[in-house]
Structure 1
Amino acid sequence: MKGKAWSLSGKAKEIYDCIRKKGTVSKQDLVDVSRITGSTVTRLLEELLSQELIREVGLGDSTGGRKPILYRINPLYAYAFGLEISRIHCRLVLCDLQMDKLESRSWNMTESMTPEVLTETVGREAEDMLEKLGLAWSSVLGLGIGSVGPVDRQRGIILEPLYFPAPGWRNVDIGTALSRRLGIPVWLDNGANTALLGEFWADSFQSYRHMLYLHAGVGIRSAMMSNGHLVYGAVDMEGAVGQMIIQTDGLPHREKQGNYGALESYASLYAMERNMRSALKQGRESTVRSRVSDPEEVKYPDLLQGLAERDPLTVELFTQAAVQFGIGLSNLLNILHPEKVILGGPLIAGNDLFFRVATQTAVRKTYYYPEYQVMFSRGKLGDDALAAGAAVMVLERLLEA
């Protein structure tokens, strides 16, 4: 392996993580939070300073004696790559230890983007990013991957994802392949989890500890955080929320094993395209018709253009889908009661109508409202959420080891 060595004791990791989470702290802050003795904290701070993992950043306010020395992590001690693998595109980011993005690249998932081609593409782009910034591989801690599920995160394997345009994406040991190509440690999780992790760390105050993330695109993906920690089930849960039944005798799922009346049959890119094609075949008027010669040619960007033009039919279809999505969201709120919900993905990004109708519908159908209040957001990281969260995961896994 050619990446950055990481050799800290358990207690040193604990103190480093406290500094990372708090931002700027004094020795007494660390004693209060960690409940480690003052003499031990002093020794651990000296260890972290000697390795240049942290640095002194001035003096704090006096409480009667000498002003305390303040500490922060050294963001340039090392770097981490984060990779998003989705059905539509891939995104690679390079972050410092403050998780600020230094460089990013993205490319489409085409019919030729097999696992082997992706591995080589990531390797080539990562090398180019480091060269551009004048960084060596010896300064890189590792690569985190946030991928379409289902995944086996323990073994680093993408299992059987649906709707990839290229062949060969069944039971892919992507962790081993990329570790060999890059020469650094690699960790894998599903993309919904890494997106939620990224959004959690993007909140500098981390004021919300119980959070729900929903990503609406080709399918619907979800992640949950409780008390600041991701919630994992017995199997990978990422895509299961799309199978939530909102109408028992409803539409058949596009896959034979799917549920009748499943949420993603009403609120997904596929559902939106299907509904517009059906409406055009029925002879309904729409500006979308002028952009296609055959209703079967309708794609989601055509609907976005129709929405921008305030085409009545397009607005109607988006509103219907948002109501159905809001019903599914209300079911999750009634079960999980998160403090904050982050909505992301192509169906929501830049779509004020969908976001507004979906959240209003969810609130109206949420039990305990108005006593129970929930914050809705489209997040701070935007398109970078999955990849940036994957970079955060690198440091998280090293601190847990």
Structure 2
Amino acid sequence: MASSPIWASRTKTRGMVLDLIRGARTISRVELVAATGLTAPTISEVVRELMVDGLVVEAGRGASTGGKPPTLVQLNPPARYSVGVQLERNLCVIVIVDLAGRQIARTSFSGVASMPPERGLPLVAGQVNGMLETAAVERHKVLGVGLVSYGPQDRRAGALLTPQPTGEWLGYPVADRLAELLGLPVLLDNDAAAAAIGEYWMGAVDPRSTYGCIYMATGIGGGVVVAGEVYRGSSSNSVEIGHVSVDVNGDECTCGNLGCLENYAGPAALVRQALTTPGLGQRLALDPSGDDFLSEFARLAAAANAGDPAARGLIERSARYLGYAAVTMTTLFDLDTVVLAGPSFAVAGSIYQSVIQEEVDRRTFARQAHPVRVVPSVSGSDAAAIGGAVLVLQSELTLGRGRGPDGGAAPSSAGEAAVGTEV
């Protein structure tokens, strides 16, 4: 049953106030009144509710402006937790974060995506259960799991719409199945979108900023955030920068397009290029028959960082292509910041950052109106997994989906997190 308009208004107000407290670290009720335009009694009631629910605590006194010093409030990080699961072609990363988005546990392992889902997902669930137990996280405080992966995907149905890495994953209800295994709500989302929103939650960008994220693991993805909200498009498969054509006469991509950026600048493409570069593949001991492109790319990046001219040439060529992609993103969305996130940027970030910044400075359409910064992610190689956990926090706590008018879980669509805990 849908929530009433009155309840929807209450939850949005509650979410707005909680997000302001999160972003400010510590803040007074007077400052919340000024920031929201709400009345002092309304702010007092909302803060009281948040404190009763344990989400907010008092944090001492602020500086006096002539009268009684104001009482400050802040988030109570151990009040709630969420789990982020990044399912990559070659790697699975799992993190647990608290209400402030701080990572309290992490693990990673390979091979899940090469298994059929009926084998891979129980392995993921077992790891999550073990981590929660080891970290002594009370299960009723866990809001849910953010499962992030590459696209395309049907976010509402909680299913991947790609046969990669094997045909068994195409259309498989990964979110519902993992939720069944864990007994926790699971939200499926795009890894690049997750990495992008993670930057906002962690306080790495101005809350009013319009910024983009280029995410690079085995492939290349993108995300755009406007005033703290991910730009979704019509099916939540937006800003797939890796599948923008950079050569109209190029080879056909697995996505059906021609000359996709990913096939020229992505880690898998660079490993293949290295194998055909005389002497380079042998020097780096690259495996011509291997499919662990993340590990192979890390070797290539390490050689580039160490000054190997052939390896550096390949990385710089990739960075130049990504610079063109960044210019496209900034021109389409008028961005002020481009964040570089994901494990592949983590191992070769300095080269990419320098070259991409150079291209953005030289070619961006609005460069005379404002600068565009190219910066590394604050979450490094775990940006997508942390972002997945953050998407659950945002969905349940700041977008008003956490509690219905009767105090129970608010309704949600299939594949989206629905909380069984009162928030």
TM-score by length of 2: 0.83
Partner of 2:410: none
Q: Which amino acid aligns with 1:66?
A: K
Partner of 1:343: 340
Looking at structure 2, the residues matched to 53 and 110 of structure 1 have their Cα atoms a distance apart, in angstroms, of 35
Partner of 2:391: 393
Which one of the candidate residues 142, 145, 148 is aligned to 2:147?
145
Deviations 1:11-47 (A, max 9, x none): 4344323322322111111212222221222222222
Q: Residue 49 and residue 338 in structure 1: after superposition, are their counterparts in 2 closer, same or farther (change >3 A)?
A: same
Q: Which amino acid aligns with 1:306?
A: A
Q: Residue 309 and residue 95 in structure 1: after superposition, are their counterparts in 2 closer, same or farther (change >3 A)?
A: closer
**Aligned positions of 1:171-320 closer than 5 A:** 171-203=171-203, 206=206, 209-237=209-237, 240-249=240-249, 251-255=250-254, 257-259=256-258, 261-280=259-278, 286-292=279-285, 299-320=296-317
**Aligned positions of 1:152-167 closer than 5 A:** 152-162=154-164, 164=165, 166=166
Q: Residue 65 and residue 126 in structure 1: after superposition, are their counterparts in 2 closer, same or farther (change >3 A)?
A: same
How many Å apart are 1:146 and its aligned residue? 1.5
Cα pair 1:288 1:306 within 8 Å, conserved: no
Deviations 1:228-261 (A, max 9, x none): 2110111333573222222333x313437221x3
Q: Which amino acid aligns with 1:279?
A: T
**Aligned positions of 1:30-179 closer than 5 A:** 30-110=32-112, 112-162=114-164, 164=165, 166=166, 168-179=168-179
Looking at structure 2, the residues matched to 217 and 383 of structure 1 have their Cα atoms a distance apart, in angstroms, of 8
Looking at structure 1, the residues matched to 287 and 193 of structure 2 have their Cα atoms a distance apart, in angstroms, of 39
Cα pair 2:23 2:203 within 8 Å, conserved: no
Looking at structure 1, the residues matched to 52 and 112 of structure 2 have their Cα atoms a distance apart, in angstroms, of 48
Q: Which amino acid aligns with 1:202?
A: M
Looking at structure 1, the residues matched to 51 and 382 of structure 2 have their Cα atoms a distance apart, in angstroms, of 32
How many Å apart are 1:318 and its aligned residue? 2.0
Q: Which amino acid aligns with 1:124?
A: G
Deviations 1:81-112 (A, max 9, x none): 11111112111111110111110111113565
Q: Residue 388 and residue 46 in structure 1: after superposition, are their counterparts in 2 closer, same or farther (change >3 A)?
A: same
**Aligned positions of 1:365-376 closer than 5 A:** 365-376=363-374
Aligned residue pairs: how many? 386
Structure 1 unaligned runs (5+)? Answer: 1-7, 281-285
Cα pair 2:198 2:386 within 8 Å, conserved: yes
Q: Which amino acid aligns with 1:168?
A: E
Cα pair 1:149 1:160 within 8 Å, conserved: yes
| SS, match of residue 347 in structure 2 | coil
Looking at structure 1, the residues matched to 236 and 366 of structure 2 have their Cα atoms a distance apart, in angstroms, of 30
Looking at structure 1, the residues matched to 389 and 115 of structure 2 have their Cα atoms a distance apart, in angstroms, of 22
Deviations 1:378-400 (A, max 9, x none): 11100121111111111211132
Looking at structure 1, the residues matched to 125 and 286 of structure 2 have their Cα atoms a distance apart, in angstroms, of 41
Looking at structure 1, the residues matched to 289 and 107 of structure 2 have their Cα atoms a distance apart, in angstroms, of 33
Cα pair 1:150 1:161 within 8 Å, conserved: no
**Root mean square deviation of aligned Cα:** 2.6
Looking at structure 2, the residues matched to 189 and 148 of structure 1 have their Cα atoms a distance apart, in angstroms, of 8
How many Å apart are 1:291 and its aligned residue? 4.8
Looking at structure 2, the residues matched to 294 and 350 of structure 1 have their Cα atoms a distance apart, in angstroms, of 19
Cα pair 1:148 1:161 within 8 Å, conserved: no
Q: Which of the pair has more CA radius of gyration?
A: 1
Cα pair 2:195 2:341 within 8 Å, conserved: no
How many Å apart are 1:275 and its aligned residue? 2.1
Which is worse superposed, 93-102 or 352-361? 352-361
Q: Residue 277 and residue 27 in structure 1: after superposition, are their counterparts in 2 closer, same or farther (change >3 A)?
A: same
Q: Residue 228 and residue 44 in structure 1: after superposition, are their counterparts in 2 closer, same or farther (change >3 A)?
A: closer
Looking at structure 1, the residues matched to 305 and 367 of structure 2 have their Cα atoms a distance apart, in angstroms, of 33
Cα pair 1:199 1:379 within 8 Å, conserved: yes
| SS, match of residue 172 in structure 1 | coil
1:325 is aligned to 2:322: yes
| SS, match of residue 188 in structure 2 | strand
| SS, match of residue 77 in structure 2 | coil
Which one of the candidate residues 382, 385, 392 is aligned to 1:384?
382
Structure 2 unaligned runs (5+)? Answer: 1-8, 402-423
Deviations 1:251-288 (A, max 9, x none): 313437221x32222211232123223333xxxxx354
Cα pair 1:213 1:341 within 8 Å, conserved: yes
Q: Residue 41 and residue 362 in structure 1: after superposition, are their counterparts in 2 closer, same or farther (change >3 A)?
A: closer
| SS, match of residue 245 in structure 2 | coil
